[in-house]
Structure 1
Amino acid sequence: MSVKGKQYPKAQAGAPLVVFDFDHTLYDGDSGSHLFAWLIRRSWWRRLLVLPMLPLFGPLVAFLPTRRVGVSAFVWAGTVGLHRSKALDVLIDRYVATHADAIRRRLLPIGIEVLHRHREAGDRVVVATGAPPELARAILAFVAHEDVPVVGTQVGPRLGGLGATRHCHNAMKMTMLREAGFRDDVAVAYSDSSADLPLLQAARKPVVVNPKAGRVAMFRRVLPPGTPILNWGCRKRGGDAVTA
């Protein structure tokens, strides 16, 4: 397989399964928030619509039990008038194409290089993200020239717009990976988030990257001794710095 002139061996059945989170792992920031902020800003009436929602739904995004409700509210505000997920995919592709330079600056070169190395080794690589899958897929294909499978949050019709129907998050991330055909034991998993503990704990080799500084002690406590806790270039995050 060739991607922008780079040759990768075809991953064989039974090859090690390697799972990457996307936000704060391969991408510096929350890609879904950046997308939906753009969707909301594209018309003045959407900006007005979201103002009274901020005090109620904004805090919900910060907490695991209520995150899906908070995320769905802002997805809805950015997509009122759309009735099919395919219509959102078209907007996602437009967003990535028109923001390619800014997105490219947010990709973490060390993370992309680690992904390259796994593909060069013939590993089965998949990205599992809480963002819509088309967003991570478009960023990796259009900006990073990587054509890896992506499993992500599913959206569907809701009250005249779109909302999250299945949030690829926490234990549901493992469920959705298996449903997508990735049923083998996870050889290596990379993530920044405590919400991905089910994934990290399922992996033979978990690797924590770019965690919040306040979460480092928790990761050391609940993951096997010697688990790497690294920083791949997120300046406001914790972990041991990796420069190359």
Structure 2
Amino acid sequence: MSTAGPRYPAVQAGAPLIVFDFDHTLYDGDSGGDLVSWLVRRTWWRTLLALLIAPVAGPMIAFLPTRRRGVGAFIWAGTVGLHRRRDLDELIDRYVVLHDAQLRERLLPVALAVLHRHREGGDRVVVATGAPPELARAILAFVAHEDVPVVGTAVGPRLFGVMATRHCHHEMKMTMLREAGFTGEIAAAYSDSSADMPLLRAARRPVVVNPKHAKVDDFRRELPAGTPILNWGCADRGGDPV
């Protein structure tokens, strides 16, 4: 899925590397959760299947060691009968087209302005997300007209459906960024999540945006003094208003 968008200067070798998280950073909410909810509600039997696995899979999402399996279980419930990653990508594109207005409201104008400024300055910008990469890519391309490279959770065929095979989360997010060719010093990183502490610590300029209120003190303790902690428009989140 692609669409015409702003023209930016070509990225030169050695340009500063800028990394954005997606959920609660560029997007007000959990984009992957919204997608999975739509996937499982497409038919009554998928909804029933998701309800049956929820007592086991739901609690798994709350804990880092089991999060990938918990997320993957619900993706599987929404994709039983699909056999290729491309099938899920096509469903994601359909979801984005059908929910254009709602997704447009979820994208944060302040965040998009910051992303736009970096790209106008010739920086090398990448989005790194725990959602499937096609989801963030499609939302940004179709709704915001931004053709930004995206690194995200890998999915593949499993048990007659499609499941997460590698979760782009915590330390793995750094690994997957490097494997995708985004090497060298990270000039700036933007994220809401304490799970992205490895990414924020690696950045020359970490910026915390829209953190949970309960996590603000953790960020202040773990990151360098003076690290900006900002609110870019998530009403139920912390940070200094912009």
TM-score band, normalised by shorter chain: over 0.9
The 2-side partners of 1:69 and 1:34 are apart by: 18
Superposed, which structure 2 residues align to 1:165-176 within 5 Å? Answer: 165-176=165-176
The 2-side partners of 1:164 and 1:58 are apart by: 15
Deviation at 1:4, TM superposition (A): 4.4
Structure 2 equivalent of residue 12 of structure 1: 12
Percent same amino acid among aligned pairs? 73
Q: Encode CA deviations 1:148-180: one digit per residue, 9 max, x unaligned.
A: 100000001111101111100000000100110
Deviation at 1:7, TM superposition (A): 2.5
Structure 1 equivalent of residue 230 of structure 2: 230
Q: TM-score, with normalisation over the residues of structure 1? A: 0.97
Structure 1 equivalent of residue 197 of structure 2: 197
Structure 1 equivalent of residue 62 of structure 2: 62
Q: Secondary structure in 1 aligned to 2:208? A: strand
Partner AA of 1:161 in structure 2: G
CA contact (8 A) 2:6 2:146 kept: no
Give the aligned CA root-mean-square deviation in angstroms. Answer: 0.9
Unaligned runs of 5+ in 2: none
The 2-side partners of 1:5 and 1:218 are apart by: 38
The 1-side partners of 2:98 and 2:233 are apart by: 24
Q: Encode CA deviations 1:26-84: one digit per residue, 9 max, x unaligned.
A: 00001000001101000111011111211211121122222111101101101100111
1:214 aligns with 2:214: yes
202-211 or 48-57, which deviates more: 48-57
The 1-side partners of 2:11 and 2:183 are apart by: 15
1:44 aligns with 2:44: yes
- Deviant stretches of 4+, over 6 Å: none
Q: Encode CA deviations 1:103-157: one digit per residue, 9 max, x unaligned.
A: 0000000000000000000000000000000000000000000001000000011
Unaligned runs of 5+ in 1: none
The 2-side partners of 1:101 and 1:5 are apart by: 18
Structure 2 equivalent of residue 104 of structure 1: 104
